Amino acid sequence: MSLPLGTRLGPYEILAPIGAGGMGEVYKARDTRLERTVAIKVGAAKFSERLAREARAVAALNHPNICTLHDVGADYLVMEYVDGATVSGPMPVEQALKLAIQIAGALEEAHSKGILHRDLKPSNILVTAKGAAKLLDFGLAKLAVDSDATQTMADALMGTPMYMAPEQAEGKPADRRSDVFSFGAVLYEMLAGRRAFDSLAAVVRDNPKLLDAPAEVARIVTRCLAKSPAERFQSMAELRAALERISSRPAEWQPSIAVLPFANMSRDPDDEYFSDGLADEIMNTLAHLPGLKVTARTSAFAFRGKEQDITKIGEALHVRTILEGSVRRSGSRIRVTAQLINAEDGYHLWSERYDREMADVFAMQDEIAAAIAGALEVKLMGQPLARRAHQPKLEAYEAFLRGRHEILKNAPEAVARAKQLLEKAIELDPAYAEPHAELGYYYWLQGLMGLRSALETTPAARAHAQRALELSPADARAHAVLCAVASAYDHDWGEAGEHFRLALAAVHVPSEVRARCALNHLLPLGRVREAMEQFDRALEQDPLSVWARGVFAIALSWEGAYDRALIEAQKAVEMDASHFMPHFVIGLSYALRGEFAAARPAAERSVSAAPWYAPTLGLLAGILAQLGEKERADELVARLGNMARVGLLLYNLLCSGNDTTADWFAKMIEDRDPVAPPWSCLKPLRSSPRWPALAKMMNLPEEAI
pLDDT of residue 530: 84
pLDDT of residue 367: 85
Name the β-bridge partners of 26: 19, 41
Q: Residue 119 catalytic?
A: yes
Task: Quickly list H helices, 489-521.
Answer: 493-504, 511-517
Give me the long-range contacts of 632-641 (CB less than 8 A, separation at least 24).
640/614
Identify which has the larger pLDDT, 320 or 100.
100
Query: What is the number of other CB atoms lying within 10 angstroms of the CB of residue 696?
Result: 12
Q: What percent of the chain has pLDDT over 70?
A: 90
Report the distance separating Cα 670 and Cα 557, nearest Å: 25
Query: 368-377, 493-502, 627-636 — which is least confidently predicted?
Result: 368-377
The amino acid sitting at 432 is Y
Residue 385: pLDDT band with limits 50, 70, 90: low
| 115 sits in which H/E element | strand 115-116
Q: Residue 270: is its pLDDT beyond 90?
A: no
Query: How far is Cα of residue 34 from the mean position of the Cα atoms in its chain?
Result: 54
The residue among 599, 670, 685, 673 whose CA lies nearest residue 643 is 673
Residue 381: pLDDT band with limits 50, 70, 90: very low
What are the angstrom distances between the C-alpha of 105 and each of 83, 133, 210? 21, 10, 26
pLDDT of residue 105: 93
The residue among 593, 568, 592 whose CA lies nearest residue 582 is 568
Q: Residue 304: is its pLDDT beyond 50?
A: yes
* Burial class of residue 6, CB neighbours in 10 A (0-12, 13-18, 19+): exposed
Q: Residue 248: is its pLDDT beyond 70?
A: no
The amino acid sitting at 483 is C
pLDDT of residue 449: 77
The winner for highest mean pLDDT among 147-151, 502-506, 625-629 is 625-629
pLDDT of residue 138: 65
pLDDT of residue 424: 95
Query: 153-162, 230-239, 366-375, 645-654 — which is least confidently predicted?
Result: 153-162
Report the distance separating Cα 351 and Cα 189, nearest Å: 47
Mean pLDDT of 253-279: 85
pLDDT of residue 291: 67
Residue 642: pLDDT band with limits 50, 70, 90: low
Q: What pLDDT digit, counting tens, does each position of 75-95 carry?
A: 888 888 988 888 988 887 888
Mean pLDDT of 682-703: 89
The winner for highest mean pLDDT among 21-35, 397-411, 544-558 is 544-558
Q: What pLDDT digit, counting tens, does each position of 209-229 carry?
A: 877 677 678 889 999 999 999
Q: Residue 529: is its pLDDT beyond 70?
A: yes
Helix axes 412-428, 394-407, angle to 10 degrees: 160
Helix axes 546-558, 562-575, angle to 10 degrees: 170
* E-only strand ranges, 276-429: 293-294, 321-330, 333-342, 348-357
3-class SS of residue 126: strand
Q: Residue 266: is its pLDDT beyond 80?
A: yes
3-class SS of residue 608: helix
Report the distance separating Cα 614 and Cα 453, nearest Å: 13
Contact (Cβ atoms closer than 8 angstroms) between residue 340 and residue 375: yes
Contact (Cβ atoms closer than 8 angstroms) between residue 75 and residue 51: yes
The residue among 504, 502, 475, 493 whose CA lies nearest residue 219 is 504
Q: Return the ∠ at Cα 190 (arms to 186 and 195), rounded to 5°.
A: 60
pLDDT of residue 374: 78
Mean pLDDT of 551-557: 90
Q: Is the preceding omega at residue 90 within 30 degrees of 0, hence cis?
A: yes
Q: Residue 647: is its pLDDT beyond 50?
A: yes
CATH class belonging to 8-81:
alpha beta
Q: Residue 268: is its pLDDT beyond 70?
A: yes
pLDDT of residue 606: 95
Query: 11-25, 145-159, 625-639, 643-657 — which is least confidently predicted?
Result: 145-159
Residue 147: pLDDT band with limits 50, 70, 90: very low
Mean pLDDT of 145-168: 60
Q: Residue 654: is its pLDDT beyond 70?
A: yes
pLDDT of residue 152: 41
In the sheet where 69-72 sits, what is the strand order?
Answer: 8-9, 12-20, 24-31, 36-43, 76-80, 69-72
Domain parsing of the chain, residue ranges:
8-81, 85-250, 254-385
The residue among 493, 499, 505, 536 whose CA lies nearest residue 517 is 499
Which residues have a Cβ under 8 Å from the Cβ of 280 and sit 6 or more positions away? 259, 297, 404
Name the β-bridge partners of 371: none
**Choices 3.40.50.1980, 3.40.50.2300, 1.25.40.10, 3.40.50.10610: CATH for 254-385:** 3.40.50.10610
Mean pLDDT of 326-340: 89
Report the distance separating Cα 326 and Cα 272, nearest Å: 10
Report the distance separating Cα 186 and Cα 306, nearest Å: 46
Residue 54: pLDDT band with limits 50, 70, 90: low
Q: Residue 145: is its pLDDT beyond 70?
A: no
Report the distance separating Cα 308 and Cα 310, nearest Å: 6
Q: Is 29 left (phi over 0), alpha (psi -120 to 50) or beta?
A: beta
85-250 CATH: 1.10.510.10
pLDDT of residue 469: 95
The residue among 657, 652, 621 whose CA lies nearest residue 636 is 621
Query: 139-153, 433-447, 560-574, 592-606 — which is least confidently predicted?
Result: 139-153
Mean confidence (pLDDT) of the chain: 85
Kindly name the residue from 31, 71, 83, 119 that is annotated as catalytic.
119
